[in-house]
Amino acid sequence: MTTEVVKKSMAIGMLALCFGMCITPCISGTSKQQLTISDGHPNLLGGIPPEEEWSKTFGGPDKDDAAYDVQQTTDGGFIVAGYAKSFGIALWNPWLIKTDSDGIMEWNKTYDYYSLPSVSGRIWSVEQTMDGGYILGCTFFNATLLNSGEARQVHTMNQGFISSTVLIKTNAQGNEEWNRTYPGLNYSWCYCVRQTSDGGYIATGGGNASTEGSPNLYLLKTHQDGTLQWLKTFGTSDMDEEGHMVQEIAESGYIVTGMSDCNYVSAWGKIWLLKTDASGTVVWDKKYEGTNGQTRVGLENYGNSVQQTRDSGYIIAGAMNYLGCLLKTDANGNETWRKTPFLTDATFFGYAAKQTTDGGYIATGNGLVKTDSSGNEAWNITLPTPFTGTQQTNDGGYIIAGSTTGYYNGDVWLIKFGPEPETPKLSFTVTGGLGVHVKIKNNGTANATGVTWQVHVEGGILHRLNQTVNGTIDVAAGETKTMKTNMFFGLGAIQVTVMVGDETKIVEGTQVLLLSLLK
């Protein structure tokens, strides 16, 4: 085992620095845990889940190691961030793992705070920077004042422990170049950091300058060397607020999601979405909550991730009424739709969501879920433990990161899925005339063969019309075909029921002798 220690002086005098510790690649393994796979509507939506390409675990025996974030790197590999109890000098140690495109470990580093074994830490967020290095969003805290049997994040600050936001910049090999703490965030935690277009960094989390009062959501902007550019805090003195993710947006500002209105007694949070300008001044903010009243103790509503979508709106993953939630807004934060409970599964909390190349969304929680652009499930792969990090990869597949046991005495778990299989994606319209015309279009990437269809017409005066026509049809990818029935004879109101594959449409109309007039 090789240890490298770098010590630097900190701007406010209370800090020191972090060092990286290399661990041998023998901690990499292959997971044998089972995946449960289900598809939505393969005949019409193309909802066939992708296949697993590989699965890797990283960690030591009988210790708690876990990942919070993962990103694909420019060389096609992956960078994974979280914490390790198996390695390092403290109880929990910030852990950074670099793999190749097949999930084989290339190197890993742990970092510490002032070489103090009593101060633990975690990396909640990682991003590859413009120079090929990495920026780490870390929280360090005094583990000696916590229950050492629990790996829990502490939100209440007036308990006499140290909790500090630390940004760490590394080179391409994970060796630390600098680290920073910030006046005004002496008692804080960092959940997300991202590089900005000017080469600096934007970070968010929760905290304040002292242990007195409730923590606020903060937005921190730095220069390229990590020195403070500006710091903004948002919230009230009697409620807890915190930011969970921030992103620079196309119109030169920032979008932040997190939690507001929580006192851990009578109020248990709302999903909070804030848009700011480039200087951190709020342009607008929105809060979202469920329709049910408080039913039990626990964080009820909060946003975990946010991303600007191609229509200039936003997609949020989080929890609502204690259930996983996927929420879409327009460009002004007005809710467009919400999906909760997500997957009709109370255990599926939404940890991350991103828009995919086809305009749909991918979300992680206790597995991986793919939806269409309206949030309707296409397929899901359910896992026994939560996964907090996800990204669509350059090959159209997906990478997810989490823990083998749900963040208690488990290992870092990294799974790569391939691209979705080529599938048909059918839609159809129904029109009248001399008979009923069904136009079937295949917008998918594969030919549809043997698609079943059926047309049933009933009604007319004295209900004399009651006829059914059915068959099968092949529709090539990108092709449109029209099925046409024979003419019907009758008079009066009719109802036409058309089924193509798994989808059914009912159309009302009027039969005028041989002419079917449909609405």
Domain CATH number, residue 491: 2.60.40.10
Per-residue pLDDT of the chain (519 residues; tens, 9 = 90+): 333 333 333 332 333 333 333 333 335 455 555 555 554 433 334 468 899 999 999 998 878 899 999 999 999 999 999 999 998 999 899 999 999 999 999 999 999 987 888 889 999 999 999 999 999 999 998 865 444 444 334 333 334 446 899 999 999 999 999 999 998 898 899 999 999 999 999 999 999 877 677 889 999 999 999 999 999 999 998 889 999 999 999 999 999 999 998 887 778 889 999 999 999 999 999 999 876 655 555 567 889 999 999 999 999 999 887 788 899 999 999 999 998 765 555 555 688 999 999 999 999 987 789 999 999 888 888 888 888 899 999 999 999 999 998 766 789 999 999 998 877 888 999 999 998 999 999 988 888 888 999 999 999 887 788 889 999 999 998 999 998 888 888 899 999 999 998 889 999 999 898 898 998
Structural tokens at position 41? 């509507």
Given 176, 195, 223, the domain boundary residue is: 223
| Residue 387, domain member (yes or no) | no
Query: For 517, what's the count of Cα atoms within 13 Å in the CB-facing half-sphere?
Result: 8
Go through the chain and tell me how many residues it has. 519
Bridge partners of 58? 28, 412
Q: What is the pLDDT of residue 82?
A: 96
Count structural domains, the chain: 2
Neighbours of 72 (CB within 10 A): 19
Tell me the residue type at 111: Y
Q: Which residues contact 386 (CB under 8 A, 6 or more apart)?
A: 349, 351, 364, 365, 366, 402, 403, 406, 407
Q: How is the beta sheet containing 335-339 ordered, strand by strand?
A: 302-308, 314-320, 323-329, 335-339
Judge whether 507 lies within some domain: yes
- Where residue 346 falls (left for φ over 0; alpha for ψ -120 to 50; beta otherwise) is alpha
Residue that finishes a domain, picked among 223, 253, 279: 223
Q: List alpha helices for 242-314, DSSP H.
A: none
Cα–Cα distances in Å, from 103 out to 31, 57, 391, 395?
A: 12, 9, 15, 15
- Give the per-residue pLDDT at 237: 85
Q: How far apart are CA 213 and CA 236, in angstroms?
A: 9
List, in order, residues 6 or more apart from 13 with CB less than 8 Å away. Answer: none
**Does residue 317 contact residue 326 with C-beta atoms inside 8 Å?**
yes
Residue 413 lies in a domain: no
Query: Considering the domain boundaries, does residue 444 fall inside one?
Result: yes
What token pair was written down for 106? 């290339």
Is the backbone peptide bond immediately before 117 cis, with ω within 30 degrees of 0? no
Decide if 502 is inside a domain: yes
- Judging by beta carbons within 10 Å of its beta carbon (0-12, 13-18, 19+), is residue 320 exposed, middle or buried? buried
- Bridge partners of residue 246, in order along the sequence: 256
Cβ–Cβ contacts within 10 Å for residue 252, how many? 11
Which amino acid, 384?
A: P
In this prediction, residue 198 carries a pLDDT of 97
Whether 247 is covered by a domain: the verdict is no
3-state percent helix, strand, coil for the chain, nearest multiple of 5: 0, 55, 45
Q: Find where tokens 């960078």 sit.
A: 79
**Would 37 be classed as within a structural domain?**
no
Sign of CA dihedral 486, 489, 490, 491: positive
Q: How far is CA 91 from the centre of its chain?
A: 28
Burial class (CB in 10 A: 0-12, 13-18, 19+), 228: middle
Closest CA to 338 of 355, 320, 322, 354: 320
Return the SS3 of 138: strand
- In this structure, what token pair is assigned to residue 90? 């403290």
What pLDDT was estimated at residue 127?
98
Indicate whether 194 belongs to any domain. Answer: yes
Strands (E), 59-175: 65-72, 78-84, 93-99, 105-110, 119-128, 134-142, 163-170
Domain that holds residue 496: 426-518
Residue 172, phi then psi, degrees to nearest 5: -70, -20
Tell me how far the alpha carbon of residue 444 is from its chain's centroid.
Answer: 25
Residue finishing a domain among 223, 243, 265? 223
Model confidence, pTM: 0.78
Whole-number Cα distances in Å, 517 to 177, 438, 457, 481: 74, 14, 12, 21
Q: Using CA atoms, how far apart are residues 425 and 63, in angstroms rounded to an integer?
A: 46
User: For 162-207, what is the HEC assignment?
Assistant: CEEEEEEEECCCCCEEEEECCCCCCEEEEEEEEECCCCCEEEEEEE
